[in-house]
Amino acid sequence: MADPSALLRARLAERAARVARLDGADAWVARARLAVAVGAVAMAVLVFGTHALHARWLALPAAAFLALVVVHDRVFHARDRARRAVAFHQAGLDRIEGRFAGHGTAGERFTDPAHPYAEDLDLFGPGSLFELLCAARTRAGEDRLAAWLRAPADAAEVRARQAAVRELAPRLDLREDLAVLGEDVRAAVDPARLAAWGEAPRLLPAFVVPAALALAAAAVATAWAWGAGYGPVPFLAALLATWAFGRALRDPIARVLGGAGRPAAELRVLSLLLARLEREPFGDPRLLRLQQMLGVQPKDGGRASARIARLERLAARAEWAHNQVFAPVAFALQWTPLHAALVERWRAAHGGAVRGWLEAVADLEALSSLAGYAFEHPADAFPEVVDPGAEPRALLDGDAVRHPLLAAAVANDVRLGGDAPAVLLVSGSNMSGKSTYLRTVGVNVVLALAGAPVRAARLRLTPVQLGATLRIQDSLQAGKSRFYAEITRLKQLMDLAGGRFPLLFLLDEILHGTNSHDRRIGAEAVVRGLVARGALGLVTTHDLALTELAGQDGALGNAHFEDQVQGGEIAFDYRLRPGVVGHSNALALMRAVGLRV
Going by pLDDT thresholds of 50, 70 and 90, the confidence category of residue 520 is confident
The larger pLDDT score, comparing residue 264 to residue 504, is at 504
Look at residue 566 and give its three-state secondary structure. Answer: strand
Give the pairing of strands 395-401 and 563-566: unpaired
pLDDT, tens only, 421-441: 999 988 887 777 888 999 999
Given this model, what pLDDT does residue 390 score? Answer: 62
Statement: residue 167 has pLDDT above 80: yes
CATH pick for 384-592 out of 3.40.50.300, 3.30.505.10, 3.30.930.10, 3.40.50.1980: 3.40.50.300
Statement: residue 55 has pLDDT above 80: no
Domain ranges of the chain: 1-97, 202-372, 384-592
pLDDT, tens only, 295-342: 654 444 467 778 888 877 887 777 777 777 777 877 777 777 888 888
Statement: residue 391 has pLDDT above 70: no
CB atoms near residue 10 (< 10 Å): 12
Given this model, what pLDDT does residue 404 score? Answer: 93
Distance CA 65, CA 42 (A): 14
Statement: residue 195 has pLDDT above 90: no
* Helix 139-150 and helix 191-199, axial crossing angle in degrees, nearest 10: 110
- Helix ranges, 385-425 (H): none
Rounded average pLDDT over 395-409: 91
CB atoms near residue 162 (< 10 Å): 23
* Helix 304-318 and helix 335-350, axial crossing angle in degrees, nearest 10: 160
Given this model, what pLDDT does residue 378 score? Answer: 93
Statement: residue 525 has pLDDT above 80: yes
pTM of the model: 0.84
Q: How far is CA 550 from CA 13, 157, 430, 538, in A?
A: 57, 36, 21, 12
| Residue among 371, 362, 356, 358 nearest 284 (CA) | 371
Q: What's the angle, vertex CA 349, arms to CA 254 and CA 289, rounded to 5?
A: 130
pLDDT, tens only, 65-104: 888 888 888 888 889 889 989 999 999 999 988 888 888 8
Distance CA 371, CA 385 (A): 18
Instruction: Of 72-86, 262-276, 514-528, give the range with the top mean pLDDT.
Output: 72-86
Across the beta sheet with 395-401, what order do the strands follow? 384-385, 458-461, 395-401, 412-417
**What percentage of the chain reaches a pLDDT higher than 90?**
29
Going by pLDDT thresholds of 50, 70 and 90, the confidence category of residue 1 is low
The answer to whether the CB of 394 falls within 8 A of the CB of 385 is no
Statement: residue 147 has pLDDT above 80: yes
- Helix ranges, 97-183 (H): 129-133, 139-150, 155-168, 172-179
Given this model, what pLDDT does residue 300 score? Answer: 45
pLDDT, tens only, 551-577: 666 788 888 888 776 666 666 788 888
Given this model, what pLDDT does residue 196 score? Answer: 79
